[in-house]
Amino acid sequence: MAVDTPAKIAIIGAGPVGLEAAVYARFLGYDVDLYECGRTVEGLQQAAHVRSLEPWSSVTTPLGRASIANQNPQWRPADDDALLTYGELAERYFLPLAACDLLADCLQENNFVHSLGREGLLRGDYLQDDRRIDVPFRLIIGDAEGNQRVEHADVVFDCSGSAGAHCNEGNGGLATLGNRALRGDELGLPDLLGTQRSEFAGKHTLALGDGLDAARAVVQLAQLAAENSQTRITWVTRSMPNDSAGGPIVELANDPLPARAELARRANELAAQPGGILDFWPATHIEAIDQTGDAGPIEVEFSGLHAGRATFDRIIADVVRRPDGLLWREMQMLVCPATEAPLPMADFLRRQALEPLSDSAALRRALAQALLNPEPDFYVLGAKSYGRRGDFLLSHGHEQIVALFTIIGDREGLDLYASRFATQ
């Protein structure tokens, strides 16, 4: 829906997509409040050792690069095809972007959005009624000192991501039995070849999941096993091997990201080697996890194809991430029953998988429509918009931003990333 400047846009989450959306909005003349519950690009900083599968040209934008260069003439971009670590991306691009003039006065770190609604309205009021448009959003914000305040906005972008919300690791996505659940550090990707090498070398590690993080962990653990013959790996997935790849990781035909293609190929190759350096257990589920003491062996009970009990020293889990929909509780939202993503976006992604749109203009129009919700002027961008899907890329977020502002700015051809103002 078209929104004239200088309307107030509240953006929740100062991750990569939130920052880019804020720069785009400020450049167009909108008033922006950018709320971040912790540090800017917290997720990238916590996983600083992980190397991006997308090149520099895909994870950054022309507008963002121009904004940094205008602020600091000495700043230089990386090579277009460079694959930087998340820490390098934060230091070289996202933190300088957050400090540029367009964002410095609107970014509010350590400000948590507790709840969101419409002033004086409940979710069921004015159902599919244009009168809802004229009522401002009401946000309850808490700061690091525990103080709370009310802020208002005309438009809200939820760019809060899904890094902190995970499904349970047990059978059927439920909690496991036993005296132990997965810890927070087991849900991320440890620095296996760097600072945490000694914690895994010579140990027996249980790797869970069939996503790219699991593939990274398995490939890196295999490197440790090649150096230390006492290192053991058991890789457990709930699904059977992918038919086309012969392993648990989906391999895309003509994958445009060579690094992703190589990671998938190598992980599947390791899983397919009988009597190799790892045991691959597909169609297997976790029933219970027990541990005696904080540093004792971890005993895991399995069901399915490899039912039984086994003992491990460490666990690395690529458990499905899920969006936290609490912020949507008073929003008129339709949610996909399978992925928990906003339903219009989930439908768009399904249609694209079945019959991709090749015309760029048609694709942008379809994507813009997919970002619309029954709640007017409320939009979900970034990884959160994909729900439980694990295939979101930063370049997808950039496409969402451009498509969305063709609606907000009421100009179908509006694209700051292709404009003469963003040539850096």
CA distance 89 to 59: 9
Q: Could you tell me if residue 388 is inside a domain? A: yes
pLDDT value at position 244? 60
- The CB density around residue 203, as the number of other CB atoms within 10 Å, is 17
CA distance 23 to 104: 10
11 beta partners: 34, 157
Whether the ω angle into residue 323 lies within 30 degrees of 0, i.e. cis, is: no
Q: Are 380 and 298 in a shared domain?
A: no
Q: Could you tell me if residue 82 is inside a domain? A: yes
Tell which of 290, 317, 344 closes a domain: 317
Residue 369 CA, chain-centre distance (Å), reads 21
Q: Are 197 and 311 in a shared domain?
A: yes
**Which residue, among 171, 234, 10, has the nearest Cα to 106 in the 3D structure?**
10
Instruction: Average the pLDDT over 82-103 and give the result.
Output: 97
Instruction: Average the pLDDT over 405-424 and give the result.
Output: 79
Q: Could you tell me if residue 212 is inside a domain? A: yes
Cβ atoms 120, 48 nearer than 8 A: no
Sheet of strand 107-108, all strands in order from the earlier edge strand to the far edge: 107-108, 31-35, 8-12, 155-158, 378-380
Does position 424 have pLDDT exceeding 90, yes or no?
Answer: no
Report the mean per-residue pLDDT for the chain.
Answer: 93
Q: Are 13 and 159 in a shared domain?
A: yes
Q: Could you tell me if residue 46 is inside a domain? A: yes
Does position 421 have pLDDT exceeding 60, yes or no?
Answer: no
Pairing between strand 232-236 and 204-208?
Answer: parallel
Q: Quick check: helix, strand or coil at residue 117? A: strand
Q: Could you tell me if residue 365 is inside a domain? A: yes
Q: Could you tell me if residue 36 is inside a domain? A: yes
| Of 416 and 185, more confident | 416
CATH of the domain at 353: 3.50.50.60
Query: Tokens in use for 9?
Result: 């846009």
- 296-355 tens-digit pLDDT: 899 999 999 999 999 999 999 998 888 888 999 999 999 999 999 999 999 999 999 999
Cβ atoms 373, 334 nearer than 8 A: yes
Number of structural domains found in the chain: 2
SS3 sequence of 130-160? HHHHHCCEEEEEEECCCCEEEEEECEEEECC
- 376-410 tens-digit pLDDT: 999 999 999 999 999 999 999 999 999 999 999 99
Instruction: Average the pLDDT over 58-86 and give the result.
Output: 97
Q: Are 57 and 157 in a shared domain?
A: yes
Does position 183 have pLDDT exceeding 70, yes or no?
Answer: yes
Tell which of 288, 317, 346 closes a domain: 317
Does position 420 have pLDDT exceeding 60, yes or no?
Answer: no
Instruction: Average the pLDDT over 182-211 and give the result.
Output: 94
pLDDT value at position 240? 83
Strands, DSSP E only, in 49-136?
A: 107-108, 111-118
CA distance 278 to 211: 17
Domain span including residue 402: 8-163+321-418
Cβ atoms 226, 273 nearer than 8 A: no
- 248-260 tens-digit pLDDT: 999 998 999 999 9
Residue 195 CA, chain-centre distance (Å), reads 24
- The CB density around residue 108, as the number of other CB atoms within 10 Å, is 15
Q: Quick check: helix, strand or coil at residue 312? A: strand
Instruction: Tell me phi and psi for residue 251, to 5 degrees.
Output: -105, 120
Q: Are 344 and 331 in a shared domain?
A: yes
Q: Are 225 and 129 in a shared domain?
A: no
What stretch of H or E contains 364?
helix 360-370
CA distance 312 to 344: 43
Q: Could you tell me if residue 33 is inside a domain? A: yes
